Structure 1
Amino acid sequence: MTDWNSLYASRMDGVVASDIRERMKLLAAREIIHLGGGLPDPEIFPYDALSAASQAIWADRALARTALQYAPSEGHGPLRTWIAEYLTRTGSPCGVDNILITNGSQQGLDFIAKLLLSPGDTAMVEIPSFIGALRAFDAYQPRYLGLPEDADDWRAETLSGAKFCYVGPDFRNPTGTTMTLDERNALLDLADTTGMALVEDGCYEQLRYDGAPIPSLLSLAIARHGDIEKIPVLQTGTFSKTIAPSLRVGWIAGPADAIRKLVLIKQASDLATSALNQMLLLEVVKTHLDASIAEACTVYRARRDSMLKALADNMPEAVRWTMPEGGLYVWVELPDHMDATVFAQRALAEHSVSIISGAAFYPAGASNVAVRRNTFRLSFSMIGADPARTGVERLGVLVREMAVV
């Protein structure tokens, strides 16, 4: 019999299952209160707009022929143009040659890692980091370096040598926190000094509920250098959080030379993103994007507020949590002596509440990173006020149980 283990590439040694994706298998178990995953709520998807766009395509044979054919590897031209114009309107002047359409922003992260990382290269990541980004980077066998939490520690003499630094500046996954304007400029200073690239994950940027928007790294870099062709930033974006995730339409924005290299990777990977999905999406965003964003913000703001109130009402004083201005996540810190992995296991087994322990969001083997094992992530995106309160009440009970053991 074939020994498959002996045939796997060495890169597979570091590839592990996502705890979040594994827990998604539990979604059918209705008795479980799901406070961990961050799926968009399907109740707010723009069904009527998508239906109308679909009918318009099928009613026009020329459009239908285009929709059912291979798209260009760069992406559907009118959609790329729309994204470039949208970014320009929102503070990041660019052209169609600066945009590559991807199968969601997750594919964008994989492509960027493939573009920039050789085995043994250093990848810097914020701590803690988005699991999907870490799994995408793992396959290219990097060494990890953690971006210190305090911007005062962002010094070139200790943080040089990385090919890129990955960050999610707005309402980041998993903590829900946001980089200040000063921090964004400090990170650009670090990139300019060290010569590394910045990979900006912009998937939550539009889900702001409080406070004034802060310019993206892409926007700040263009303003600083005067031209997108001169910047050190690649930004990934997506419509999964604002329209619907199953369309799998995202993009990478950056200097045209890097985009051309990424197009070659796209050609070798899957040839092109679905033309039909891109055309459907374009018709919807042209007329309904603002309304979809507004509805998402209204729904998620109320759920965030409910979860924060439930935490305030039910958690002991020793427990702390973040206060996100947007996005989908709250990061909870238990007392120092508690192991959140054990806490998550007991929460599911004994209290039927699913959460994600914080240890899953740390890169393996980072030389300057200490895993904070007393943390876990909550998400409010698909949980109403009443079940969220019940779930948090149960977590509060478990904290008190474990505190006295």
Structure 2
Amino acid sequence: MRCYGRRSLGTVIGTLFFLAVFMGALTVIFFTLHSYNQYYQELYKRNLRDWERLREDFEIAEAKIDGSGGLRLIVKNESPLYVHLVQLWINNLTDNDHRWLPLDVVLSPGEQVDLGKETCLDPNKEYEVKVVSSRGNIAYARVQRAEEGIEEEGHLHLAVFSPDYTPPDEVVGDGDTFHLYVMYLSTLNLEVNLTELSLKFYDHATGTNITSAFTLEASTPLPVTLNSGESCLVSLLYSYDNDDPSLEELGGDRWVDIKVEATYVNGGTTTLSQTTRLALIVEGRPGMYVYEIRFRELGVWRRRLYIDVVVVDLDENPVNNANVTAYIDTPTVDGVYYDFTNVLGIATFGPYRDEGWYYIRVLNITKPGWVYMPEYNRETEDSYYFEGGL
């Protein structure tokens, strides 16, 4: 009968341990490679979308109303890509009335289509039409009244967007640099010379001017000359500072509207302004709020009452060293008191020993570089009856 000693058992255990470590290493390597593969696939898709958006080119070749009010709206695909048209806007400039019509039209390269079929308009009024593609590009045109036989003067159109931080997928953080593209499109029937360009930034929710938080680092040189039907893409490189005083009362992620002001020369000097809503999301000041107010009784023979105010950030993490100002009414005295939060985000008031009702209302919370956002408070005030202690 063969006997196996401890050395054989140790060999088996060592082999099993080695296999476990080997399998664990393989799992980590597989997970890492899989994560990298997913990241680069998403990066490729995003770059492809941006490339297709910039290469896409379609135009409104004709926009007319006939004598009976029928609309002839010819849209032509001038790009080497397929164009998916998804929206048609018809703006009544006379009555300031706007209509939106959904589309589902795909144009192959060089193809054109009449989108005005079965659409009737008042031939005595002025209209503007906009056609939007699935990639976000827009074609504009003024509708010409055919019976008048007049030539429309056209317009200079502006649009602004960020290729780096496309909302809502990306948020511009403190110290980040990012590009903004300003697209010019001229439908004027003459040559124009673009000489100046400036951008102003506004908080979408409050309308606050936050332009001082953005610094222009570089831009495409001007002037540039455009003929009718030509477009130009001006690139601007900005940096962002969320410590700017204009953001003092603005906490959390903020949607930003961008107003473009452009100066061009076409016989005389003209300044054109146009606002793009919800163009960016930027990181505002860190926000904090009251997560909880709680009353604690401690002690057996000499019971005491403590009032805790718990302060957290927008991710519900404790905020340390925040100055909490509160109005407190006790059975014997009332007044305004201050205390700083600890590493757990708790400001403690007390101890109190008198029997009766206790009431607290948080008035303000301050911390350098932070914003108190009371609209997020889970509690702002509370009361409690304490039976008293010796």
Pick the TM interval, shorter chain: under 0.3
| Higher normalized strand content (fraction of residues) | 2
| Higher normalized helix content (fraction of residues) | 1
Name the TM-score, length of structure 1 as normaliser: 0.20
